[in-house]
A and B are shown apart, each in its own frame.
Chain A
């Protein structure tokens, strides 16, 4: 059974009273454990598709089914819990919460899950150790380098053992070497945690980390192929 089923999805935005299609009749299925890369130029619809898969936006028409559940009928509270339990997000700009320490940022999704304190602390420490930031757990995100911030974001995305990790251009704000390191870490962590990974990039060198590459242009999937 597919973990992600996107069926005949359309997404339109209204810009200055004009209708702007972002996705046109997009269908995609992703199996558990797959590593899928969405590629395409800016404005091709990668981020919009990721947002729909991540349930942080809703389609204009069509269906998005995640882990067998159609996300269309879910209310906000149910969707919030759904995202918290089953998804992890990694953003281009890291999006760490500046008023929380490194430890607290990673801990946050577990707090929403109401995980007991002892178990929570152990899990956060484990993740921080795996991303190599154990000794920086009390630091503010503002005192970290870009690469370190993205490693915190990876730990935060994976701490709740999500089925699906969504990463929107995770290396776009990093230099090449740091970006490669982050991707290596993301792949390794993803493998060990057993999550499915869907990420977007317009950098061809990043796409080599994927097992499957979906190319998008002007809101449509133009190519869907297994990586070499």
Chain B
């Protein structure tokens, strides 16, 4: 116990030198905390928008093959007992909404122009198109499919309506009210065609040339499927989705948002990698600075080590005093850096957040102050600092007590 007390008091012995030594760690970790708060906020928004862009927290299909080729070829993947499953899911308190979807591939034509479309059918009351002029928070029980630039989404009682993407509409020369003919091949080889009225035109970069949306009932009627191929679950939170999944009947092919949001996972992995590299660089710089300082400290205190050894302190205990002092330096430096980082984040948030342009709209990203991230910064800092003290500590015990006592 006295070893720990001695290590702690040694840390406070020369406060100015300790602070100078820790300045790299403090400044670095402050930067990491702010950057991490920014990235976490961005990624959380990205995650939520990915979940609401048509994935949901969970998807439930009859067979795993659905996730390979079933989204726009629903005929082979009818979900058995879909109604009772849907009713069971609706009764779960963690579930915000549960609804089916289907899709089909078609050729859309207007006049002499045509374009290939992937048409998704969701219940009309679950489709949400944001305003292109202002940023809105979408309702939690709907999919946000894009920003409406013209017209409107299909109302619940309206059928044979189509929301076309901006690029596809431009190719076809379609506007709200235009009639577009969709043709799709049915499972029996027959060709089905139907006229759809364009109710609205949406903008979504990268999607609006290919994807179009209609209401679920129209999609079912057009394709002639007898059961939905998939159910989407919107849970009350990301964490709640796990509880829902665990209570689903066995034998179903269930995918979480994490399984399906491959782009999100890639981006998240990339940013996590950035953060880890930055953190590693900061810790390495700290390691070298601390090793240098601890070397000096060990040399200055040689007489103390000699005295302690003469009184019967074992080599390992001396080494522990030095390593613990380093460890405490790491903990204190990391704690100060994190507290300052949280303070800076709070100040940035109070000033309105960090401006960020998403989908042509300027938004303010509010930095997330995540207390859970403290350990991810403190523990490595403490370990690196302890490692930086190890070699100087060995120097303290390498000499005999009399050699230590002879040092000036």
Best-surrounded residue of B5, B306, B401 (most CB of chain A within 10 A): B401
Confirm or deny: A84 has a beta carbon within 8 angstroms of a beta carbon on chain B: yes
A57-B402, A58-B400, A97-B6 known; A109+B312 contact, CB < 8 A? yes
Residues of A63-86 contacting chain B, CB below 8 A: 76-77, 80-81, 83-85
A51-B402, A95-B303 known; A112+B312 contact, CB < 8 A? yes
**Alpha-carbon separation in the docked complex, A58 to B401 (Å):** 10
Residues of A within 8 A of B41 (CB): none
Confirm or deny: A104 has a beta carbon within 8 angstroms of a beta carbon on chain B: yes
Residues of B within 8 A of A58 (CB): 400
Cβ of A59 to closest chain B Cβ, rounded Å: 12
Q: Are A56 and B405 in contact (CB under 8 A)?
A: yes
Q: Are A56 and B402 in contact (CB under 8 A)?
A: yes
Q: Are A91 and B312 in contact (CB under 8 A)?
A: no
Cβ of A49 to closest chain B Cβ, rounded Å: 11
Q: Are A80 and B400 in contact (CB under 8 A)?
A: no
Interface magnitude class on chain A:
20 to 34
Confirm or deny: B191 has a beta carbon within 8 angstroms of a beta carbon on chain A: no
**Alpha-carbon separation in the docked complex, A108 to B10 (Å):** 16
A56-B402, A56-B405, A76-B314 known; A97+B308 contact, CB < 8 A? yes
Cβ of B403 to closest chain A Cβ, rounded Å: 8
**Alpha-carbon separation in the docked complex, A108 to B1 (Å):** 11
**Alpha-carbon separation in the docked complex, A156 to B310 (Å):** 12
**Partner of A111 from B2, B9, B13 at Cβ < 8 Å:** B2
Confirm or deny: A54 has a beta carbon within 8 angstroms of a beta carbon on chain B: yes
Confirm or deny: A89 has a beta carbon within 8 angstroms of a beta carbon on chain B: yes
Residues of A within 8 A of B13 (CB): 98-99
Confirm or deny: A189 has a beta carbon within 8 angstroms of a beta carbon on chain B: no
**Alpha-carbon separation in the docked complex, A108 to B6 (Å):** 11
Confirm or deny: A180 has a beta carbon within 8 angstroms of a beta carbon on chain B: no
Residues of B352-408 contacting chain A, CB below 8 A: 400-403, 405
Digit string of A38-58 for contact with B (CB within 8 Å is 1, else 0)? 000000000000010010111
Q: Are A97 and B312 in contact (CB under 8 A)?
A: no
B2 nearest in chain A by CB position: A111
Q: Are B311 and A57 in contact (CB under 8 A)?
A: no
B404 nearest in chain A by CB position: A56
Confirm or deny: A100 has a beta carbon within 8 angstroms of a beta carbon on chain B: yes
B316 nearest in chain A by CB position: A77
Interface magnitude class on chain B:
20 to 34
**Alpha-carbon separation in the docked complex, A47 to B402 (Å):** 9
Digit string of B303-327 for contact with A (CB within 8 Å is 1, else 0)? 1101111111111000000000000
**Alpha-carbon separation in the docked complex, A109 to B309 (Å):** 11
14 contacts between A and B (CB under 8 A): A51-B405, A56-B306, A56-B400, A56-B405, A89-B310, A93-B303, A95-B405, A97-B6, A97-B307, A97-B308, A99-B10, A108-B311, A111-B1, A112-B313
Digit string of A180-215 for contact with B (CB within 8 Å is 1, else 0)? 000000000000000000000000000000000000
A84-B311, A99-B13, A108-B311 known; A57+B401 contact, CB < 8 A? yes
Residues of B within 8 A of A109 (CB): 311-312
Residues of A within 8 A of B303 (CB): 93, 95
**Alpha-carbon separation in the docked complex, A83 to B311 (Å):** 6
Other A-B pairs beyond A77-B315, A83-B311, 17, CB < 8 Å: A51-B405, A56-B401, A57-B401, A57-B403, A77-B314, A80-B313, A80-B314, A81-B312, A84-B311, A85-B312, A89-B311, A95-B303, A95-B405, A99-B10, A109-B312, A111-B2, A112-B312
**Partner of B310 from A56, A81, A111 at Cβ < 8 Å:** A56
Q: Which A residues are within 8 Å of any B CB, using their own CB?
A: 51, 54, 56-58, 76-77, 80-81, 83-85, 87, 89, 91, 93, 95, 97-100, 104, 108-109, 111-113, 156
Cβ of A119 to closest chain B Cβ, rounded Å: 16
Residues of B within 8 A of A57 (CB): 400-403
A107 nearest in chain B by CB position: B2
**Alpha-carbon separation in the docked complex, A89 to B306 (Å):** 11
**Alpha-carbon separation in the docked complex, A80 to B307 (Å):** 12
**Partner of B309 from A80, A98, A108, A111 at Cβ < 8 Å:** A80
Residues of A within 8 A of B9 (CB): 99-100
Q: Are B2 and A104 in contact (CB under 8 A)?
A: yes
**Alpha-carbon separation in the docked complex, A91 to B314 (Å):** 20
Q: Are B310 and A54 in contact (CB under 8 A)?
A: yes
Residues of B within 8 A of A85 (CB): 312
Residues of A within 8 A of B306 (CB): 56, 95
Q: Are A91 and B405 in contact (CB under 8 A)?
A: yes
A111 nearest in chain B by CB position: B2
A157 nearest in chain B by CB position: B311
Q: Are A84 and B312 in contact (CB under 8 A)?
A: yes
Cβ of B5 to closest chain A Cβ, rounded Å: 8
A109 nearest in chain B by CB position: B311
Residues of A within 8 A of B405 (CB): 51, 56, 91, 95
**Alpha-carbon separation in the docked complex, A87 to B10 (Å):** 26
**Alpha-carbon separation in the docked complex, A91 to B406 (Å):** 11
Residues of A within 8 A of B1 (CB): 111
Residues of A within 8 A of B311 (CB): 83-84, 89, 108-109, 112, 156
Residues of B within 8 A of A113 (CB): 312
**Partner of B6 from A81, A83, A84, A99 at Cβ < 8 Å:** A99
